[in-house]
Structure 1
Amino acid sequence: MDTSQIQQLLPQVIEAVELAGVLLAQECVRPGGRRGCGDKAEIDVEIEVLLRAELLSLLDCDWWGEETGHVLTGYPFCWVVDPNDGTSDFLRGLKGSAISVGLLHDGKPVLGVVHAPVTPSGISDCIGWAKGMDHLVRNNNRIVVDLSDQKLSETATVMVSAAATDKSDINNQLCAPAEFYAMPSIAYRLAKVAAGDGVCGISLYPVSAHDVVAGHALLSGAKGVLIGEDGSPIQYTTESTMTKVSGRVFGGAPDACSELNKRDWQRVFG
């Protein structure tokens, strides 16, 4: 499969993800409330089963899903799916969890779609990119973002977890001179940064491949990076690195990610 064929997959993947997003949106207003507890929601399994069938019909290859397990045969391509990134916050009633679908080729993200069907603004948001494209697609609109030379500044925004609102003073200091924006879903944080809404998206908790591959692809389309706590680029080379990509990740403008990674984020947990 060449680059043009990967690009041809993107509209089909977006369509599948947006259809799944309807189910997630319906769950948000379900009579009796959202089903599940802790970090497990019934809708997550239902969406992944749907997406697994649809995506493998588009490209029959390896699979890495949060809910339905994984099949790693060494095939060059691998779908990487999180049906509802941000489940715990979703079950708490927060808006902004997201469906995340990425495609790896030889361990490199070559396609990504992140879709948040229910956001605080009330508008669904779907962001996609495939290798070789000089732009991203956001809600059917072409957008061009260049993160390569963006810096931390007073006009910049750093995307952090929803829990940051509980420790706003510390997060203000750690993100300075930028402001911080608290939200569920590391996938959607990375996607919003890739789409130009921020300079860096952060997770301070260990993440797996399904959390970040799609966002990583989108960042690639915006000339951004995704680095781990040791400052090196994120890799997806073995089952162990897929299971735990890194203890912390920083995605966005290279300079901003490097600078933020040097700061004492352990203060958040103090």
Structure 2
Amino acid sequence: MENFWTEVLQLAETTTKRVGSQLIADFGKLQATKKEDGSLVTKADRWADEEITQAITATFKDHGVLGEETSHIFPANDWCWIIDPIDGTTNFTRGVPIWGISLGLLYRGTPVFGYVYLPLLNHSYYGYWLENSGLIGPVGAYLNGEPIHTSTDAPSKSHLFNLCARSIDVLKQPFPCKIRMIGVASYNILLVAVGAALGGVEATPKIWDIAAVWVILQAAGGAFIALDKTEIFPLTVGQNYGKNSFPCLVVSREELVPVFKPLVEFLANSN
């Protein structure tokens, strides 16, 4: 199976680099329109989703694909990729250089590999999380090929915690860390994985926002907490995930869950 994991990483790397090059050319130049759920989309999102889907199905003919801009139905395939072609479309259209391409590979409904590429930062994050999958393969989380790990620090006013736009009510109470708002769900969580922040919260992320980073965060030593107390994975075959949100807390280590969870668990009702 070693060759399989090499192919998976090569596909993710070459496809996101190729697609990212075109997206850089479109960066800050396209007008966005609103979808039914209120999120933004551009022709670049749709083009990138199609390009990534075609690359996956050409390489792995027995793999399914669930994409933000295409099908939201989780297929019956043992292996399925979940695609977010541009995570951070608002940043992308407004000329803010923090946005990324996110790919998560699931085995029987649970993510086992995640890859996120931020083209303008030239940062490639990826990781493997094979626990309880029955699979054998690589371990760990990486940034541009170098191992990464979450922070072991204790919270303080010199440490960071990331919010999303829908979680600012957190600030109505005293908070143990400085706050940052990234505007990109995957990067919010990746900053915890790489040790830059101690935690983060997303009030209404979709499955394509979290499939890849769920893997990378845990492979880096962090903890991913579903705030509505419902296990996210494995996904259910045949279910439409287009409207489902998954409020979540991420922290650099399990010991910090009781520190931060009481401050953000009201977001479980954000759906």
Please state which band the TM-score falls in when normalised by the shorter chain: 0.7 to 0.9
- Are residue 234 (structure 1) and residue 232 (structure 2) matched? yes
Q: Following the alignment from structure 2 to structure 1, what is the Cα–Cα distance between the partners of residues 222 and 199? A: 9
Q: Following the alignment from structure 2 to structure 1, what is the Cα–Cα distance between the partners of residues 165 and 108? A: 33
After the TM superposition, which of the residue ranges 7-16 and 186-195 deviates more from structure 2? 7-16
Q: Following the alignment from structure 1 to structure 2, what is the Cα–Cα distance between the partners of residues 247 and 137? A: 25
The runs of at least 4 consecutive aligned structure 1 residues that moved more than 6 Å come to none
1:198-247 Cα shifts (integer Å, max 9, x gaps): 22232122x22111101111112112222222345432422548445544
Q: Following the alignment from structure 1 to structure 2, what is the Cα–Cα distance between the partners of residues 68 and 216? A: 22
The equivalent residue for 1:185 is: 184
1:213-252 correspondence runs (5 A): 213-231=211-229, 233-238=231-236, 239-240=238-239, 242-243=241-242, 246-252=245-251
The equivalent residue for 2:50 is: 49
| Cα drift, residue 6 of structure 1 | 2.6
- Are residue 86 (structure 1) and residue 88 (structure 2) matched? yes
- Count of residues paired in the alignment: 253
1:243-269 Cα shifts (integer Å, max 9, x gaps): 4554411123233345323215769x9
Residues 160 and 240 (structure 1), Cα distance of their counterparts in 2 relative to 1, 3 Å cut: farther
Question: Which of 191, 206, 209 matches 1:208?
Answer: 206
Alignment check: 8 A CA contact 2:65 2:75 kept: no
What TM-score comes out, normalization by structure 2 length? 0.80
The equivalent residue for 1:107 is: 109
Unmatched tracts of structure 2, length 5 or more: 35-39, 130-136
The equivalent residue for 1:137 is: 142
Alignment check: 8 A CA contact 1:6 1:111 kept: no
Q: Following the alignment from structure 2 to structure 1, what is the Cα–Cα distance between the partners of residues 174 and 139? A: 30
| Cα drift, residue 175 of structure 1 | 7.6
Q: Following the alignment from structure 2 to structure 1, what is the Cα–Cα distance between the partners of residues 241 and 148? A: 29
- Are residue 34 (structure 1) and residue 36 (structure 2) matched? no
Residues 27 and 227 (structure 1), Cα distance of their counterparts in 2 relative to 1, 3 Å cut: same
**Superposition RMSD in Å:** 2.9
Q: Following the alignment from structure 2 to structure 1, what is the Cα–Cα distance between the partners of residues 257 and 13? A: 28
What TM-score comes out, normalization by structure 1 length? 0.80
1:154-209 Cα shifts (integer Å, max 9, x gaps): 34321223677xx6xx655668322122112111211222122222232122x221
